[in-house]
Amino acid sequence: MARPKAEQPEQSAPPMVHTGARVRRNEDPRLLRGRGRYVDDIPLEGCVHGAFLRSTVARGRIVALDTTEAEQLPGVLAVYTCENIGGLDREMPLLIPHPCISHGRTQRPLARDDVYYVGQAIAFVVAVDRYVAEDAVSRISVDIEPLPVEVDMERAVDDGAPLVHPDVPGNIAAALVQNCGDADAAFARAEHRTKIRVQVDRSTGAPMECLATAARWDPVSGELVVWDGTQAPIGLRGALASLFELDEDKVRVIAPDVGGGFGPKIHFPYANEVLVPLAAMELGRPVKYIEDRSENFVHMSHERTQIHEIELAATKDGEVIGLRDVFLHDTGAFIPYGIAVAQVASTAIAGPYRIPNIEVEFRCVYTPTVPVTPYRGCGRPQANFALERAMDQLAEELGLDRFEIRRRNLIADDEFPYKREGLIFADGLPVTYDSGQYGAALALLEEELDLPAFRAEQEQARAEGRWLGLGLSFYVEGTGLGPYEGGRVRIHPITGKVYVNTGLTTQGQGHATSMAQLVADQLGVAVDDVIVVEGDTGVFDWGVATFASRAMVVSGSAIHKAAVKARERVLEIAANMLEVDQADIVLENGAATVRGTGTSVPLAAIATVSNPLRYAFNDAAQIATQFAPANKGDGPPLPEESRPGIQTEEYYSPPHATWAYGVHAAIVEVDPVSYDLQVKRYVIVHDCGKMINPMIVEGQIAGGVASGMGGAFYEKLEYEANGNLRNASFMEFLMPYATEVPHMEMHHLETPTPLNPIGAKGAGEAGTIPVAAVIASGIQDALAPEGIGPLWHVPLNPSVLHDAVREARSR
Amino acid sequence: MTSSTYRSPVNDDPTLDISLVVNGRPVEASVSPRLLLSDFLRHHLGLTGTHVGCEHGVCGACTVHIDGRAARSCLTLAVQLDGATVRTVEDLEGPDGSLSPVQAAFRDCHGLQCGFCTPGFLMSVTALLDEDPDVADASDAEIRERIAGNLCRCTGYQGIVAATRQAAETLRDAKEQADGTTQG
Ligand code: FES
Ligand code: FES
């Protein structure tokens, strides 16, 4: 039926109408009407509810645990402890093994004998509703004998410090040294050295929807269905199939609408993710667990605490020729996600600068606190803070301007690809920056800031006794890691709508729109006629997950490839139906049209024809049935090596990460009485390669900066010396409201990456990375007339600044 | 959605009868005194558009209108609502199913990402604009002050601030036009 391809003149690539446009989101109308479907919204007939008993002691031994009274409470269906969960009473997987993890420890779903942090799950109650389940939890009696603890990471590595795990000497989980070039030689010939110590404190992703799991077991089909607020349904499916010894096909994990992720939801399995399915299977009823906010603070992973000692070797002109960094990384009580956070920090340490000689060393330290896994930025904010504060310090010592010292060290456009041989990134491959215009970005920022005007304003402000300053920070972000993702594109024969599937998930990043834009351009359909379904292993189960700013880069590329193939197939069939050359066909408005004529066939008809039918189940289907005139011919109705319908599936595996970058600056003012911070301008130059939907990119940047503002000045998880988390609520953990987040002026450069067919780099985490350095640098500048000491520890806050000024004045 | 009984199935807690109006429809229910309004709306009336982000009154995700004023449904007990009128996000769209000016503005300005905080913001902003039509002329900083009762972790608020202003302008224009028509 199809003419040989060779006769066809080449079709040129379609015009990009939707790709790159600020398309309003497909997902919004549903969400705006209150018709989202988050885990707790899934209606499950006869559903019962879980609640946890959690440890109130950081490190201790469980000497008594009595659940009798809880079990006797009317309405309680089950009380689980480590004693009655069968094969689940085991250490959960260490998700990313790495040879440098000498003492990898992971936790059990429910504590056995020992507890390791406040918040650790000890028992799980299932009852008719959450009120009763929580009543029952309060009736469990538990006696925990406290053991000595050391929550201060630096003291935790000292000889004689209390051990989190008795068989882990020095509380060291892992240690790694990486080298690029010859740092020793560089330091030996350096004309100037700068060494500083910086610290970034602990924080949490705080998605507005806490963790949530619901499960239903169908004893007839033997299928376990789990709805879970996860970033990694395919991974969780693998873990559950393994733990419950079920065929993968019998476990379906669905991430429905998820109320924010920001990293912590990439980790699995959390206790609820295994105990809810267990209870559903044992009780034969749907079971649900919805974490509350106070639990979220002590259960869902944290991130950030690192202490860096960073040293730069420079010429007297400010060329940085060597870098040494030694840091401690707090991994909490366990290391379930391996060294990912520390590794990313260590490989981002030289940022956008040439710095050819690097030695970076880290140790991952156990402390009796909530385990640490990636949170938006994943080690990059800490590395960036260390590097950028060191660059500011170097500039200061050499008497150079902060812009100038950066200009002298940025990798030049013609130096890409720029490889840091010896630094192995989180994808297991050497750090290789693929493309960028770093110099142009800095120049654009300077222009937008209007520095001469600012300097005049600052002089004026200082004359009036006001504290006005400017801060800046460059950053790079390795995004779009492998191993791979897939995409499937299918044209529906009845409606002509296009269905797209991929294996990862969305927690608000707008995939249903941006992925649809890519496909809409290839197939000439409206963006809202492309329906993206993801996050459901029952629909598409090849892939990895949503993390590391990779969805558009990896899934987007796979979907694009699949759409290109679907387009080829559409053109081939349309050429037959219309009896013209493919080159004469335009795909637009959901139809194939002969160029310059009104003759066209709709996509639905093309999809119908592509699927040989026996039954005319509707009028349109007649055309594809056996006795329809067009279908007379020799040979099988479905030619050898072809498949019915228009459905394509492609995969994309990046050769290595692609590096986005940008530079932010802020003009800040500190109130001399209250020491409150006011950000008067926040200017961003950002380059994530080709932008598929700039509106969505800007939303990602803005959200990232807001998290970064939290980390710079407001958000800090405060552990008391006994391991209790003092501020486990939104009342005391100061997440920024609209009043704490500045208006952001955004400017884009678009340097495409050569590594993937759509030219895109990731954007999800970028906004967060530089903010702490920008704010610290800005406040330092503002308070310079007071002669305060260096600001090398974030988050800052009014009392820190007050103390710094008082200290300077008393000197 | 006319009658609903929530009786704690296991203990002897008394239940109390309440009658109220939710989204324009009368509701009679018999509820446990400790039942939160947020749970009553979500799990007994099936109005899952109202979200719960903290259950301690800080995030605003659970905001609904009680007798025309924005209120936190996680800090309100269902039994307090006898005789009250409650409006939730499900009631914002027009009778023809079109998005309200506030909803449309959130879409136009990318004022939502994951959508979890969104119903609370929509209810807060809708109440704000009902009370104070002059928000259209407010400074950026003033708008930020006025919406600082709700948390959002995704958007960085930039789209929400823009959406609030756009909705205020739309509503003001509509009002001016209506006034003009009446006068003319
Ligand atoms: S859930 Fe009510 S204010 Fe957060
Ligand atoms: S849109 Fe996700 S919390 Fe606001």
Instruction: Tell me what pLDDT residue A10 has.
Output: 57
In chain B, residues with a C-beta closer than 8 Å to the C-beta of A131 are: 8, 32, 34-35
Which element (helix H / strand E) includes A666? strand A658-670
pLDDT exceeds cutoff 70 at A29: yes
Peptide bond into A219 cis (omega under 30): no
CA distance A28 to chain B (A): 6
What confidence category does residue A656 fall into, taking pLDDT thresholds of 50, 70 and 90?
Answer: very high
- Give the residue-averaged pLDDT of A32-44: 96
pTM above 0.90, yes or no: yes
* CA nearest ligand 2 atom 4, residue: B152
Which element (helix H / strand E) includes A280? helix A271-283
For residues A292 and A329, membership in a common domain is answered with no
Cα separation, A800 vs A447, in Å, equals 33
Closest chain A residue to the Cα of B154, Cα to Cα: A703
For residues A257 and A114, membership in a common domain is answered with yes
Domain span at residue A587 reads 5-36+482-652
Token readout for A124 is 């799980």
Last residue within a domain, chosen from A652, A678, A706: A652
- Give the residue-averaged pLDDT of A498-526: 95
A8 CB within 8 Å of a chain B CB:
no
Instruction: Tell me what pLDDT residue A3 has.
Output: 40
pLDDT exceeds cutoff 90 at B8: no
B178 CB within 8 Å of a chain A CB:
no
What confidence category does residue A12 fall into, taking pLDDT thresholds of 50, 70 and 90?
Answer: confident
Does residue A683 form part of some domain? yes
Last residue within a domain, chosen from A652, A667, A700: A652
What confidence category does residue B4 fall into, taking pLDDT thresholds of 50, 70 and 90?
Answer: very low
A704 and B50 within 8 Å at the Cβ level: the answer is no
pLDDT exceeds cutoff 80 at A668: yes
The DSSP-derived string for A360-384 is EEEEEEE-SSS-B---TTTTHHHHH
Instruction: Tell me what pLDDT residue B5 has.
Output: 44
Domain count for chain A: 3
For residues A278 and A318, membership in a common domain is answered with no
The yes or no reply on domain B101-179 and CATH 1.10.150.120 is yes
For residues A437 and A460, membership in a common domain is answered with yes
In chain A, residues with a C-beta closer than 8 Å to the C-beta of B111 are: none
Does residue A171 form part of some domain? no
Peptide bond into A795 cis (omega under 30): yes
Say how many Å lie between the CA of residue A481 and the centre of ligand 1. 36
What confidence category does residue B182 fall into, taking pLDDT thresholds of 50, 70 and 90?
Answer: low
A627 CB within 8 Å of a chain B CB:
no
pLDDT exceeds cutoff 80 at B2: no
A669 CB within 8 Å of a chain B CB:
no
Contact indicator for A388, A777 with CB cutoff of 8 Å: yes
Last residue within a domain, chosen from A634, A652, A670: A652
Peptide bond into A483 cis (omega under 30): yes
pLDDT exceeds cutoff 50 at A194: yes
For residues A648 and A544, membership in a common domain is answered with yes
For residues A502 and A544, membership in a common domain is answered with yes
CA distance B148 to chain A (A): 5
For residues A624 and A670, membership in a common domain is answered with no
Among candidates A132, A508, A730 on the partner chain, residue whose Cβ is nearest the Cβ of B113: A508
By C-alpha distance, which of A744, A571, A291 is closest to B158? A744
Token readout for A762 is 């990731």
Mean pLDDT rounded to a whole number for chain A = 95
* ipTM for the whole complex: 0.95
pLDDT more than 70, % of chain A: 98
B113 and A260 within 8 Å at the Cβ level: the answer is yes
- Give the residue-averaged pLDDT of A131-154: 97
For residues A633 and A591, membership in a common domain is answered with yes
Residue type, A806: R
Instruction: Tell me what pLDDT residue A6 has.
Output: 45
Residue with tokens 């600052």: A458
Contact indicator for A132, A76 with CB cutoff of 8 Å: yes
Question: Tell me: the pLDDT tens digits for A760-809?
Answer: 999 989 999 999 999 999 999 999 999 999 999 999 999 999 999 999 99
Question: Tell me: the pLDDT tens digits for B35-51?
Answer: 999 999 999 999 999 99
- Give the residue-averaged pLDDT of A320-348: 97
pLDDT exceeds cutoff 60 at B11: no
Instruction: Tell me what pLDDT residue A265 has.
Output: 96
Contact indicator for A557, A758 with CB cutoff of 8 Å: yes
Q: Which CATH superfamily is domain B16-91 in?
A: Beta-grasp domain (3.10.20.30)
Cβ neighbours for A728, distance < 8 A, ≥ 6 positions apart: A294, A297, A298
pLDDT exceeds cutoff 50 at A482: yes
Question: Tell me: the pLDDT tens digits for A415-472?
Answer: 999 999 999 998 899 999 999 999 999 999 999 999 999 999 999 999 999 999 999 9
Instruction: Tell me what pLDDT residue A5 has.
Output: 44
Which element (helix H / strand E) includes A237? helix A233-244
Question: Tell me: the pLDDT tens digits for A283-315?
Answer: 999 999 999 999 999 999 999 999 999 999 999
CA distance A802 to chain B (A): 25
- DSSP 3-state of A587: strand
Cβ neighbours for A577, distance < 8 A, ≥ 6 positions apart: A592, A601, A605, A606, A609, A630
Instruction: Tell me what pLDDT residue B175 has.
Output: 86
The CATH number of the domain holding residue A224 is 3.90.1170.50
pLDDT exceeds cutoff 60 at A508: yes
The domains of chain B are located at: 16-91, 101-179
Which of A125, A208, A288, A743 is the mutation pick for testing B, counting most B CBs within 10 A?
A208
For residues A15 and A124, membership in a common domain is answered with no
Contact indicator for A505, A221 with CB cutoff of 8 Å: no
Q: How many helices (H) and strands (E) does chain B have?
A: 5, 6
The CATH number of the domain holding residue A743 is 3.30.365.10
